[in-house]
């Protein structure tokens, strides 16, 4: 049994290959000139350059947060290169056929649907390769519906009024250390605008991928759902295997105007580092949504990767009757560390939020849920329900729960419950008695443990998420 575990735990990171594409990379280090250069390379308007500089100045005055339950050597922000673009981009591919075949093969290995699968799955992919969007499909069809789905660097030029109005409106430039850094140097990301009353005709999807060694990736995603509109957005992440740690500090802003609905799903399997904790992504992400009246925002995430995760997708329930949801599965193995959770800020009347968090720790990893539910005095009739369950596999890992509850309205109801246990011997016994081996049994039990979250995922992602967990967990039972 234990040999089997060993071999399975040694399983290679399937997405860990490096694509040899010539890229244009800035030398490491960050100062105002680098910020200006990034902005100039993208041909940004003056206001945005100034916006970035303001963020940079703020960042210089800020200190790295240390409150999270993670431990890692300090990041040398001067050793990071803040811009990297595949060289072949300079000519600008007009269609898929013109795209560097190396890149396309990368996506193929990752199993991203670009050609047929994209159509079959009805998925429009805005693939971000390192920092520049390579190709955007299904643009036409979306255009008909009036939906704008393009790289944010393009939206700056095509929809400046929207970008200017909403950029930084949910996550202010100086919100926190990593958000400030991102605001200063963000490279690219997706921009989505759904016009009033439109139900987006397909699921939107972006695959992020960090390729170049020693490059940090700083995407910036902005999604605006206008009144009464509806959109479902899928985000997947992978990174190649490298010995050094790589930095990923993204910002995602969601704006759900009156009656709008945004569903944001993430499957994250950034390279987690090897069995000894060498290498892997540092994932320091700020994700936040703002709900106006009757709007709803739902975050669903399956996190299996990254050496360090520091991520709290949040919802500010500003409008009356707005709804926030957070469904999360976070799995850590080997020496991975995750400190993740959500914030639900109830400002409006009759706002509702639901938090379902499932943490699975294996190996020598550490997995913490950190959440905040804040009921403001104005949030008459607000309602929150939180459930955090942790599953421990192996006796050298850690599972932690740090829920913060702040209630300032008597008519609000806040409920939190959390449990921690290991995979039940009884359940294992039952499965094995029926002829399943321990591996299968654990996989089944874990899948059952996560079911409440998986059922919130779009179908294609749910399958992938299930598979991911299986790969990451197989053999950790003993």
Residues of the shown chain interacting with other proteins in the complex, contacts defined by CB under 8 A: 67, 69, 375, 377, 390, 392-422
| CB-neighbour burial class of residue 324 (10 A; exposed 0-12, middle 13-18, buried 19+) | buried
DSSP class of residue 199 equals B
Helix, strand, or coil (residue 181): helix
CB of 64 to other proteins, least distance (A): 14
| Helical pair 46-61 and 32-41, crossing angle rounded to 10 deg | 150
The whole-angstrom separation of Cα 268 and Cα 330 is 10
CB of 393 to other proteins, least distance (A): 7
Nearer to other proteins among residue 416 and residue 451 (C-beta): 416
CB of 386 to other proteins, least distance (A): 9
Tokens of 445: 């039990």
CB of 73 to other proteins, least distance (A): 22
Contact between 135 and 114 under an 8 Å Cβ cutoff? The reply is yes
Nearer to other proteins among residue 406 and residue 437 (C-beta): 406
Contact between 2 and 478 under an 8 Å Cβ cutoff? The reply is yes
CB of 473 to other proteins, least distance (A): 14
Q: What is the CA radius of gyration of the chain?
A: 22
Nearer to other proteins among residue 164 and residue 400 (C-beta): 400
Nearer to other proteins among residue 10 and residue 396 (C-beta): 396
Nearer to other proteins among residue 404 and residue 429 (C-beta): 404
Nearer to other proteins among residue 174 and residue 422 (C-beta): 422
CB of 392 to other proteins, least distance (A): 4
How far is residue 358 from each of residues 78, 164, 318, 332, measured CA to CA in Å? Answer: 36, 37, 27, 11
Nearer to other proteins among residue 159 and residue 383 (C-beta): 383
CB of 119 to other proteins, least distance (A): 46
Cβ neighbours of 397 (radius 10 Å): 22
The whole-angstrom separation of Cα 420 and Cα 235 is 29
CB of 106 to other proteins, least distance (A): 38
Residues whose CB falls within 8 Å of the CB of residue 466, separated by 6 or more in sequence, listed in order: 447, 454
Cβ neighbours of 72 (radius 10 Å): 14
Contact between 38 and 82 under an 8 Å Cβ cutoff? The reply is yes
Nearer to other proteins among residue 41 and residue 378 (C-beta): 378
CB of 209 to other proteins, least distance (A): 34
The whole-angstrom separation of Cα 432 and Cα 476 is 16
Nearer to other proteins among residue 158 and residue 421 (C-beta): 421
CB of 350 to other proteins, least distance (A): 15
Helix, strand, or coil (residue 95): coil
Cα pseudo-dihedral 99, 102, 108, 114, rounded to 10? -10
Residues whose CB falls within 8 Å of the CB of residue 169, separated by 6 or more in sequence, listed in order: 253, 255, 290
Nearer to other proteins among residue 169 and residue 421 (C-beta): 421
> Which of 331, 329, 340, 334 shows the shortest CA–CA distance to 365?
334
């Amino acid at each position: 049994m234990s040999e089997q575990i060993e071999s399975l735990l040694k399983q290679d990171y399937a997405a860990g290959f490096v694509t040899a594409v010539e890229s244009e990379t800035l030398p490491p280090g960050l100062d105002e000139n680098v910020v200006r250069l990034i902005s100039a390379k993208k041909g940004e308007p003056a206001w945005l350059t100034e916006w970035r500089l303001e963020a940079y100045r703020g960042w210089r005055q800020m200190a790295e947060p240390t409150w999270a339950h993670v431990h890692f050597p300090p990041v040398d922000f001067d050793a990071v290169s803040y811009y990297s673009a595949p060289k072949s981009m300079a000519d600008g591919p007009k269609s898929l056929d013109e795209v560097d075949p190396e890149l396309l093969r990368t996506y193929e290995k990752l199993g991203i649907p670009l050609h047929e699968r994209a159509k079959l799955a009805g998925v429009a992919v805005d693939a971000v390769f390192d920092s520049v969007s390579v190709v955007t499909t299904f643009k036409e069809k979306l255009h008909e519906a009036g939906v704008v789905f393009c790289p944010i660097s393009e939206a700056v030029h095509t929809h400046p009024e929207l970008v200017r109005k909403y950029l930084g409106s949910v996550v202010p430039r100086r919100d926190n250390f990593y958000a400030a850094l991102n605001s200063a140097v963000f490279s690219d990301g997706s921009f989505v605008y759904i016009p009033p009353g439109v139900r987006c005709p397909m699921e939107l999807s972006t695959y992020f991928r960090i390729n170049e060694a020693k490059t940090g990736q700083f995407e910036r995603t902005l999604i605006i759902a206008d009144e009464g509109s509806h959109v479902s957005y899928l985000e997947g992440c992978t990174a190649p295997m490298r010995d050094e740690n790589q930095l990923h500090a993204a910002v995602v802003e969601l704006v759900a105007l009156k009656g709008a609905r945004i569903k944001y799903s993430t499957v994250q399997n950034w390279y987690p580092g090897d069995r000894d904790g060498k290498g892997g992504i540092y994932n320091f992400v700020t994700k936040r949504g703002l709900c106006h009246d009757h709007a709803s925002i739902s975050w669903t995430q399956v996190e299996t990767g990254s050496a360090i995760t520091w991520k709290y997708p949040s919802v500010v329930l500003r409008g009356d009757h707005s709804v926030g949801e957070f469904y999360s599965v976070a799995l850590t193995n080997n020496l991975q560390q995750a400190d993740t959770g959500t914030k639900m800020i109830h400002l409006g009347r009759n706002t509702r939020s639901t938090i379902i968090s499932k943490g699975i720790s294996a190996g020598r990893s550490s997995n913490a849920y950190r959440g905040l539910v804040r009921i403001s005095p104005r949030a008459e009739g607000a309602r929150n329900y939180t459930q955090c369950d942790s599953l421990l596999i192996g006796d050298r890992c850690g599972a932690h729960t740090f829920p913060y509850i702040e209630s300032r309205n008597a008519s609000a109801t806040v409920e939190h419950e959390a449990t921690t246990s290991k995979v039940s011997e009884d359940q294992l016994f039952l499965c094995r008695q029926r002829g399943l081996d321990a591996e299968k049994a654990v996989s089944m039990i874990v899948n059952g443990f996560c079911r409440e979250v998986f059922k919130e995922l779009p179908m294609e992602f749910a399958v992938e998420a299930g598979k991911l967990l299986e790969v990451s967990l197989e053999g950790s039972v003993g």
